[in-house]
Each structure stands twice: as C-alpha cells, then as structure tokens.
Amino acid sequence: MLIELLAILLSVTAVIAGLQWAFRRMTSPSRRAEAPPLPLSGLMAHLPKSAPDSQLLAFVDSWVELLEQEEYEAAYKHTAHRDDLGWSAELIRQTIKGYGQRLPGQKVTLVGRATDLRQRKQVDRYSKPRGAGIGEIWYDLNIDGVLSDLTATFLIYEVDGGLAVVLDQIHVM
C-alpha cells in the first residue's frame, strides 16, 4: 500500500511539474519566436539540406541508441548545442535518471512497448525560417522498454553544408 501511495505521489508530482511548465510556456513570450540570430557558422551540419523527415528521425534514433548504451558524452556530442540552452552530458544523464520513479538503473531505450500513450516521432518544418531555425523534432522517449511521457525536442537549423540538429529540451509532456 505504501509503495502504491508513493507511485501515485510521484505521478501527481510529474503532472504538476508538466502543468507548471505548460503554464510558463503559455504565459511567457516564445523563446523560439524571439531567439536572437545565432552565429550559425559555429554549428556543424549533421545532414544534407535535402534530408527528408525520415532521415531527421533516423538521426535522433541514433542519438537514442547512444543514450540506451548510457554513452551520455557521445550522445551530447552527437547533436549541436546552443550555449543559452545549457545542456551538458551530465545534465542529460541527470534528466533521464531523475524521471518518473528515479530508479538508478533506468535508461532510455530505442524500443518500447505501447501503453495508453502513443509514441510521437514528429518533424515540424516552419513555413518560413525563424530565429530558432527552420523546424523542430518532437521525440517521445522510452524508459526501460516502456513508452513514457518524457519528450526530447530538437531545433533544426540550416547551416553551411546542410542541416544542424540542436538539442532543445528533454521534459515531461
């Protein structure tokens, strides 16, 4: 009974955190819309400019495979980064380990069994470029082989030589 109550408390805490995040997001100016132009010369192209959505999602799948192996430094280096977003390999690890039940051995897995949730792997391309790039990727993560509500988002920038994929957020949706 105590374990069930703790599980409920953790679920309620996650929901409250998600609602707080959504409220802040809705009531503050969009970071993406007002993002200052970036020195795009510092971003390395990961994919050709003509990359279809399937290739962008395959790129993120390979990032997830690194997380599954708990290769956080390699996963960090796999994507591009903006200093203002504050990501590090250690923060990626802490975010994953701190999700849900916060089990020390939990990790992201590429494959997950379906639950009442449906995994979102989605590319949204903007109709015209913004300060935050030309689009974004939404990717729901599996934790220990089970689909979760932990979502990684990535910004897509057009740079010399192709497209750069920047880790934006990892959060509960």
Whether residue 8 lies inside any domain: the answer is: no
pLDDT for residue 153 is more than 70:
yes
Tell me, what's the pLDDT at 75?
Answer: 97
Res 103: pLDDT: 85
> Is residue 154, in this structure, part of any structural domain at all?
yes
Rounded distance between C-alpha atoms, residue 160 and residue 117, angstroms: 38
pLDDT above 90 as % of the chain:
52
Q: What percent of the chain clears pLDDT 70, i.e. is strictly above it?
A: 76
In a domain, 110, yes or no: yes
CATH number at residue 92: 3.10.450
Residue 18 lies in a domain: no
pLDDT tens for each residue of 37-73: 555 546 778 899 999 999 999 999 999 999 999 999 9
Residue 51 located in a structural domain: yes
For 126-140, what is the mean pLDDT? Answer: 87
For residue 14, is it within any domain? no
Confidence of residue 8 (pLDDT cuts 50, 70, 90): low
For residue 101, pLDDT beyond 70: yes
**Total domains in the fold of the chain:** 1
Residue 22 covered by a domain: no
Please name the residue that has the structure tokens 């708990």. Answer: 70
Domain residues for the domain of 155 are: 31-172
pTM: 0.76
Q: How far apart are CA 147 and CA 129, in angstroms?
A: 32
Q: Residue length, the chain?
A: 173
Q: Is residue 48 part of a domain?
A: yes
